[in-house]
Amino acid sequence: MLTTASNIPSEVVTITSAISRDIRFPTSLTKDGSDAMNESGDYSSAYCILSTNSSSGLQGHGMTFTIGRGNDIVCRAIEAVAARIVGRTLQELIQDMGKTWRYLVADSQLRWIGPEKGVIHLALGAVVNAVWDLWAKSVGKPVWRVVADMTPGEFVGCVDWRYLEDAITREEAVQMLQEMEVGKRERVKEAEGSRAVPAYTTSAGYGEDKMKALLEETLAEGYKHFKLKVGGNLEQDMHRLSIAREVLGYDNGNVLMVDANQVWSVPEAIDYMKKLAKFKPWFIEEPTSPDDILGHKAIREALKEDGIEVATGEMCQNRVIFKQLLSSGAIGICQIDACRLGGVNEVMAVLLLAKKFGVPVVPHSGGVGLPEYTQHLSTIDYVCVSGKKSLLEFVDHLHEHFIHPSVIKDGYYTTPTEPGYSVQMKEASMDEFEFPGGAFWQSETARPIRDHLKTDRPI
């Protein structure tokens, strides 16, 4: 299956061990990243680290993002999934990535506790991404470039086509990608010049003063897109949106988006958004349950006359849900997550579906490590699949822990050039924030979180 010579590692390496690490940051202390559904998360990474017998110490790092409690459960699932590739060579695994993905997802006993969703699928994402990181490092390329250098046949061969063919066939996908070969070289050049992925910010989700200051600050930095959290309280939200529009104006190309983090029922979502329509939001993100395909469709239809689009995806579990959301016209913006989907392979499937149904892909990036991942995915989408520059969320915290953090310049993501998938964390950060033994978690500062570890709310 592998025909692109530059994607074939020169050295044969065997995966000799797979471990997980439970890394948690105490974001609940400052309420960074809180919203109407998630009052106080501790942004966390469940890591999968694949070691090899390579003389250069080659390792593959993948992670999945969670918000605290339960990160240990995902770590345990990572160990169960990753154990299945220990002893394999990287060459065996990448020779037919679609087959490898299917192998990892199809352990029938582990599949039962999903299937293809929740903890076991989050774990799959970490493991699959670790394999991609290992592959990319072994050939000295960033992950986006490994994919960009594939033939359409190789790209399509990375996808598990089970359950997709009523919406898109393998042949159709090859055809689509072949058409996109036109201009691809130029798009790669643009990516190399860091003009492939425009950023938007969700830093403006907090208290009114902080929100206003952040909006002004990010506006000055060159951003044109701004997202606010809503759904807690209608009056408060109207007040906040009016402040936001005071800062951004209505007529100067500044785009406002809102995000409800699933707090509404379908009729509630429609009613609430009708009342926010005068602030002209581009889209409402996560108006209701991420499982509710027909609900999103109903909301989108009801809000069409108000010019409000519907976005969702960060909690959508797999390609089968996206297939339905996209093919039925339930969403106008497709927000994939780099690790809730089962890693790069399943993301590639959803990129193809989004292209087929003409829906822009705006990945979810509000979490530790997510921007590091998604900068690759949005680049792949632009270079190989859609040929269109979509937006990508950027949240400016916790990047200091990464060896190769994502960087924004002039409102664009700086395209990653270092080999791998960019989520490898600094050893010192891992040691300090490893839960529960790391220095931070043993410190006095962590006491309020330790004390509330078991429960977050009274009945």
Residue 46 falls in which region: left (phi positive, over 0), alpha (psi -120 to 50) or beta: beta
Min separation Cβ 399 and its own copies, Å: 21
Residues 253-272 that bind its own copies (CB under 8 A): 262, 265-268
- With beta carbons less than 8 A apart as the criterion, state whether 134 and 59 touch: yes
Of the pair 158, 196, the CB lying nearest its own copies is at 158
Min separation Cβ 117 and its own copies, Å: 5
Angle between helices 118-138 and 71-82 (to 10 degrees): 60
The two three-digit tokens of residue 367, written as one number: 């979490």
At 349, which helix (H) or strand (E)? Answer: helix 344-356
Piece in contact with its own copies (CB under 8 A), picked from 9-17, 171-179, 291-299, 305-313: 291-299
Q: Active site includes 229?
A: yes
Residues 190-249 that bind its own copies (CB under 8 A): none
The two three-digit tokens of residue 283, written as one number: 């889209």
What is the sign, positive or negative, of the torsion defined by CA atoms of 446, 447, 450, 455?
Answer: negative
300 counts as binding its own copies under rule CB under 8 A: no
Chosen residue from 12, 19, 83, 428 binding its own copies by CB under 8 A: 83
Chosen residue from 63, 119, 180, 188 binding its own copies by CB under 8 A: 119
- With beta carbons less than 8 A apart as the criterion, state whether 333 and 355 touch: no
Residues 311-350 that bind its own copies (CB under 8 A): 315, 317-318, 320-321, 323-324, 327-328
In 56-96, which residue ranges form alpha helices assigned H by DSSP?
71-82, 90-95
- Amino acid at the residue 32: D
Chosen residue from 110, 148, 423, 425 binding its own copies by CB under 8 A: 110
- Amino acid at the residue 205: G
Of the pair 130, 188, the CB lying nearest its own copies is at 130
Of the pair 75, 391, the CB lying nearest its own copies is at 75
Of the pair 285, 381, the CB lying nearest its own copies is at 285
Hey, how many other C-beta atoms are within 10 angstroms of the C-beta on 31? 14
Min separation Cβ 331 and its own copies, Å: 14
b/e for 258-281, b at 16 or more Cβ within 10 A?
A: bbbbbbbebeebbebbeebeebeb
Q: Active site includes 364?
A: yes
Min separation Cβ 287 and its own copies, Å: 11
29 counts as binding its own copies under rule CB under 8 A: no
Chosen residue from 5, 55, 57, 112 binding its own copies by CB under 8 A: 112
Min separation Cβ 130 and its own copies, Å: 16
Which positions ≥6 away from 121 have C-beta within 8 Å? 114, 317, 318, 340, 341, 342
In 106-164, which residue ranges form alpha helices assigned H by DSSP?
108-112, 118-138, 143-148, 152-157
Piece in contact with its own copies (CB under 8 A), picked from 66-74, 145-153, 252-260, 417-425: 66-74
369 counts as binding its own copies under rule CB under 8 A: no
Residues 410-449 that bind its own copies (CB under 8 A): none
14 counts as binding its own copies under rule CB under 8 A: no
Chosen residue from 13, 63, 122, 354 binding its own copies by CB under 8 A: 122
d(CA 4, CA 7): 6
Chosen residue from 48, 134, 164, 204 binding its own copies by CB under 8 A: 164
Judged by CB under 8 A, how many residues of this single chain contact its own copies?
76
Residues 33-52 that bind its own copies (CB under 8 A): 37-42
Q: What are phi and psi of 284, to 5 degrees?
A: -105, 125
CA distances (Å), 450 to each of 30, 66, 250, 437, 447, in order?
15, 17, 45, 12, 5
**Residues classed as catalytic:** 229, 364
